[in-house]
Amino acid sequence: MAFGRDQHQMMSEINVTPLVDVMLVLLIIFMVTAPMMIHGVDVSLPETSASPVPSGEEDRLIISITADKKLHINKTAVKFSFLREKLAAIMENRTDQRVFLKADKEVPYGYVVSVMSEIKGAGVDQLGMLTKPVELADR
């Protein structure tokens, strides 16, 4: 029974219903997994029109990275392996929870990101980047 067709004739129509079902499932999978694929460190970077950080350096907590990858919390040297626990201990007793990061331009980007990750792991939510201002003559 071919419902009006010859039994020996080939059916040349494509059934698109299974294709649409598969495509909808794939779309849902990609919509759910795409936000999970974004990796990074949440950092609030200053805008170009930002005003300078007010002086009062005795109150600020500055983490410096020298060109040879040595770390300092304000003026105290600290090893990378102890940065998270030292910073967490310091932040327990501070009312100002802001930390500023100052890195030499020769330090590899990956090392700076790993230091930022350790700072975030210590519970710091506000991280500022200190840079040298661009002179108008350099533009």
Strands in 46-131 per DSSP E:
62-65, 71-73, 76-78, 98-103, 126-129
pTM (2 d.p.) = 0.55
Would you state the pLDDT for residue 134? 59
CA distance 129 to 131: 6
Amino acid at 115: V
- Amino acid residing at 32: V
Note whether residue 53 is domain-resident.
no
Does the residue 121 lie in any domain? yes
Please check whether residue 6 lies inside any domain of the structure: no
Q: Is residue 49 part of a domain?
A: no
More confident residue, 54 or 59: 59
Of the two residues 99 and 49, the one the predictor is more confident about is: 99
**What does the pLDDT read at residue 15?**
85
Domain that holds residue 83: 62-131
125 in any annotated domain: yes
| Residue 13 resides in a domain | no
User: What DSSP designation does 69 have?
Assistant: -
Q: Tell me, what CATH number does 105's domain have?
A: 3.30.420.270
36 belongs to a structural domain = no
Count how many domains the chain has: 1
Residue 23 in any domain: the answer is no
**Each residue's pLDDT tens digit, 5-55:** 566 777 778 888 999 999 999 999 988 888 776 554 343 344 445 555 555
